[in-house]
Amino acid sequence: MLEPEITAEAYAELRKQDKAPLLLDVREPWEAHTASLPEAKFMPMGEVPSRAHQELEPDEPIVVLCHHGVRSLSVTMWLRNQGFDHVQSLAGGIDRWSRFIDPTVPRY
């Protein structure tokens, strides 16, 4: 099984591929309006249990995103317990992404 977390640098390389993982943004709406990545599927953490099995594919790779990586790791572990084996949390969240990968993404 994959490591539970993926670095921003490793995800930056993966997203260049034709079959990039789904980026699942589990932050609150105000956070997504403040700073986001255009390819992200937005699903606030509180909605994941009711939406995951209808909207996500258990066999597809998924990278979960939040602000600093705490909520995304929690969602990653929950999804793995639900049979989503190819899920990883973006370590450091969108904050790390903004600092090290794309400084045009606002920090908050």
Q: Which residue has the tokens 């949390």?
A: 89
How many Å apart are CA 104 and CA 50, to the nearest integer? 33
Write a three-state SS string for 52-68: HHHHCCCCCCEEEECCC
Residue 88 β-bridge partners: 63
CATH value at residue 75: 3.40.250.10
What residue type is 40 in one-letter code? Answer: A
Domain for residue 107, yes or no?
no
Q: Catalytic pick from 24, 56, 66, 101? A: 66
Would you give per-residue pLDDT tens digits along the chain (108 residues)?
A: 899 999 999 999 999 999 999 999 999 999 999 999 999 999 999 999 999 999 999 999 999 999 999 999 999 999 999 999 999 999 999 999 999 999 999 999
User: What does the pLDDT read at residue 106?
Assistant: 97
Length reported for the chain = 108
Domain count, the chain: 1
Domain for residue 108, yes or no?
no
| 66 is annotated as an active-site residue | yes
Domain for residue 38, yes or no?
yes
